[in-house]
Amino acid sequence: MSSQSKLFNIPANTLRPGPTLTIVGLSEGKVTATMDFTCRKFDALGPVIQGQLLKGTPLINLYPDVGATYGYLLLDGWTSRDEPGGITTVTCEFSGVDTTQTNPSNDASVSYTRNNALRDESIFKHPDFLETPTAIRDAIKRASEGTAKLVGTEIKDINNDEILADLTGDDVSLEWYELIVVQDHTTYLTPTSEWTKNATNRGKLSAATLNDMGKVVTPPGSPNAPGDQEWLMTGATENIQTIGDGANSYSLTYTSGFWPELIYPR
């Protein structure tokens, strides 16, 4: 092979890996690496070499011996310097995220947001209404649906005059009848809260975290829920970077309420 196609055992248009690869592990799974490559001076700025030095090129493409273990390391940038004898040294900087070593508990820049509001709830779930006897509650509900009516102090079936409940001397139940049936108050406002955790991380949300969707759980930060309400995980978003510094962002959202155990697992 002539000296025009090979110099110091470097083939034309080839980046020869240097003897040293430096790998540095940072926080939250971030990993950086530095490696020198050499090429012929008159090839360094040519289209073939430059095509191999594009941002995002995997280290394994330039140095196959690194193996799949570091397949996540991608080229961030490079610098070159000319050496005596017609050789150019190209110093390449790589970075990536080792997702096998990270988890959502290894967070950075954590913040919590709480939104408090009032929401409509069925009047039949009001704690005070639930203190009335079951037969009276059922009769008032039927009257609100138009299948029963109040005659004197008795709630009767409109079809056969069967007495469903007797409110004689029960002023509280009569007030509930007036409020729900006559005034048509079928809902009431009850407090509710939404709790959101926002954070950055070097990995992805774990399967265990995503498994909590639709479950009653204790949110990160352990916030108090209004009254006797519980927290239901109602949302999860993540913004994943595959190049650059790998600082992914994510949020987890929890909503307070009364969540029946038959429907929402604990």
Judge whether residue 73 has pLDDT over 60.
yes
Alpha carbon distance 19, 32 (integer Å) = 17
- State the average pLDDT over residues 240-262: 82
Closest CA to 119 of 188, 196, 195, 214: 188
- Reduced to 3 states (helix: H, G, I; strand: E, B; else coil), residue 163 is strand
- Return the ∠ at Cα 183 (arms to 180 and 184), rounded to 5°: 55
- Which residues 6+ apart lie within 8 Å of 197 measured at CB? 110, 111, 112, 219, 220, 221, 251, 252
What value does the mean pLDDT of the chain take? Answer: 88
What's the pLDDT score for residue 163?
95
pLDDT in tens, 127-148: 999 999 999 999 999 999 999 9
- 47 with 117: CB under 8 angstroms? no
Burial 58-76 (b: 16+ CB within 10 A, else e): bbbebbeebeeebebbbbb
- Residue 235 CB: number of other CB atoms within 10 A? 12
Identify which has the larger pLDDT, 242 or 196: 196
Check whether 244 has a pLDDT greater than 70: no
- Which residues share a beta bridge with 90? 37, 80
204 against 205, higher pLDDT? 205
Would you state the pLDDT for residue 189? 92
CA separation for the pair 162, 167 (Å, rounded): 14
Task: State the pLDDT confidence band at 202, using cuts at 50, 70 and 90.
Answer: low
Given a contact cutoff of 8 angstroms between Cβ atoms, the answer to whether 200 and 251 are in contact is no
pLDDT in tens, 175-193: 999 999 999 999 999 999 9
Q: Give percent of the chain with pLDDT exceeding 90.
A: 64
* Backbone dihedral angles phi then psi of residue 51, each to the nearest 5 degrees: -65, -25
- The answer to whether 246 and 239 are in contact (CB under 8 A) is no
Tell me the pLDDT tens digit for each residue of 98-126: 766 545 556 767 889 999 999 899 999 99
Mean pLDDT confidence for 26-35 = 78
Determine the Cα–Cα distance for residues 69 and 39; give it in Å rounded to an integer.
26
For 178, which DSSP code? I
Per-residue pLDDT, 4: 46
Mean pLDDT calculated for residue range 77-101? 87
What is the rounded average pLDDT of the residues 21-34? 80
Which phi and psi (to 5°) does residue 71 adopt?
Answer: -65, -15
